[in-house]
Structure 1
Amino acid sequence: MTRTSSHPIKLGGVHHAAYRCKDARETVQWYERVLGMEYVSAFSEDHVPSTGEYDPYMHVFLDAGNDNVLAFFELPNQKDMGRDENTPVWVQHLAFRVADEDALLAAKEHVESEGIEVLGPTHHGIFKSIYFFDPNGHRVELAADIGTDEQYAELKRVAMPMLEEWSETKKAPRHADWLHQANK
């Protein structure tokens, strides 16, 4: 693999991640109320700038913290929103970091107070998380890092061997079983 330091493209982070929504106003209000995100801007056009095709849309942007932006498109002339039925519902999700386990538990209490069903906390070895759905059916995860520097270093060390073994066998490599030992 190419070393990042010698790669000709130097990324400066994620500019924004964009998803579809059913209703732009409802989505903005939900993310403000439930996750405390600030609605920062919007674009609305009748023609798609990159293709020129006629397809009116509202594109809204929310501040997710640390210069991260979450965006949504409302597309009233398209077929109703669906999801990839060939992908399990737990796979595609938006994951946001919270400060610590106390913040995670406080977030769970707040989200549940909004009448939203919450799964978790789930222990992932180096982080704990909760899961719930936004009004568009997108799965949202809040995660609190709990790992040590040594654990993160070990995960980085075994990343390539795990990828290689997975590529050959399509079975879960056991290089990081230690992650879940503390949870038992």
Structure 2
Amino acid sequence: MSRIRPKAFVHIVYRTHRFDTMMDWYQKVFGARVQFRNEMLGFLTYDEEHHRFALVNLDLLDPNPKEKHRIGLVGVDHVAYTFASLRELLENWEHLKAMGVEPYWCIHHGITVSLYYGDPDGNQMEFQIESFSTPEEASAFMTGPGYTENPIGVEFDPESWLARVRAGTPESDFLIREVHQPVSPIRFSTPN
């Protein structure tokens, strides 16, 4: 099998104690528009992508003291890369797992299906597949009641999903998030 690679870099997420100031700055500097905002999270874009920047309000985050060294700090939270298909995302998961590299969080955000990995220094990255085929559909989901109820997502098992995809279940059956109740807290990578 040839090596599966992401098809594009898609967004970056920052942790901040100056949430409102940062939201304003990205709107001014990039001409970005707000896609979603609540007291804890803000998602902005300057093009057709559903978000290019996300901001996490650290003033509202109550981190686990054990992880405070990582998530309580201002700066980059994670960078995200998108794959061409759900099958490629899941086959890459299997390839990495065989090499001893496993995600710390498997989550269906609603706008994306995502696997989060941490490198040896604890830098976080998101490998994802888009849930919607058009930017308009993604934007509509982000402004709808399901996303307002749960902008974080619900966890999933990549092993069972890959088995179902290989058995012939259409990828489209996995992409639209039907459940919106949160099932887990936000997870963070910790260095090994």
Which fold has the larger relative contact order, with Cα–Cα distance below 8 Å and residues 6 or more apart in sequence?
Answer: 2
Larger Rg: 1
Q: TM-score, structure 1 length as denominator? A: 0.38
Name the structure where strand makes up a greater proportion of residues: 1
